[in-house]
Amino acid sequence: MRNEFEKCDKYRMPIIKKQNIDLDKIELLSYLKIKDEDENKNKTIHFFTYYWNFENVYQKPELALEKLDKYYALLTPEFSTYKDMPLARQIDSVFKNRWCGAFWQKQGMLVIPTISCGSYGCFDFFCDGVEEGSVVAVSTYTREDNKKGFMEGYEIMMKKIKPSAIICYGDPFPEMKGNIKAIDPFSKQELIKKMGLEKFMEKYLSGSLYPEI
């Protein structure tokens, strides 16, 4: 089952095909916010949350598809590629990201590959399996402490994939180039008012504050 899709490059990543994406229709909704009712059917589902909240989309793909196939598009899940993770785990995370995208496309869905890079070691494979000219997604949320590494990966992505557009979850860094559609994860003002500035900054900087838009 895991080997049914066309693959490429050294690690034989499943290929996510380039598709026509209407950026004007991109309005993100967290996977955690999915409900049975269909008032959000025109939204695009994202997975920018803890990986254990969405592991089932890979482990039980057919069951998860019953919740996902009514939406406009899907961002591929960002399985962890932390810089202190073993390289084998990072390779596996990228593989699962691409496999989900290839599986969803086979079911006739619009898919936007999420690109993430954990360390210098993954520079030779983190762009694999994404066709040149695709619309892609990245996240700058809580990446401030690793801005240098993020930007190095971002520049490699721009050269290898040459994306037609980049959906950025969070505030783009000033150095980021390209056709960027930025999406604010949350209203910082509302959260600061709710929990206080000190608590907000503590959770934000630790990466433990995951908005569910």
The amino acid occupying position 141 is: Y
pLDDT tens figures, 153-197: 999 999 999 999 999 998 899 999 999 999 987 666 667 777 788
The amino acid occupying position 97 is: N
- What's the whole-model pTM score? 0.84
Average pLDDT in the 1-22 region? 83
DSSP for 141-197 reads TT-GGGHHHHHHHHHHHHHHT--SEEEEESPPPTT--SSEEEE-SS-HHHHHHHH-H
Decide: helix, strand or coil at residue 66: helix
Q: Between these two residues, 75 and 90, which has the higher pLDDT value? A: 75
Average pLDDT in the 21-33 region? 92
pLDDT averaged over the chain? 87
Is residue 45 pLDDT above 80, yes or no?
Answer: yes
Give the start-to-end residue ranges of the domains of the chain.
7-206
Distance, CA of 14 to CA of 129 (rounded, Å): 6
- 108: which residues sit within 8 A by CB, 6+ positions away? none
According to the model, what pLDDT value does residue 11 have? 87
Distance, CA of 37 to CA of 20 (rounded, Å): 27
Choose among 179, 172, 174, 211: nearest CA to 195.
211
Distance, CA of 53 to CA of 18 (rounded, Å): 27
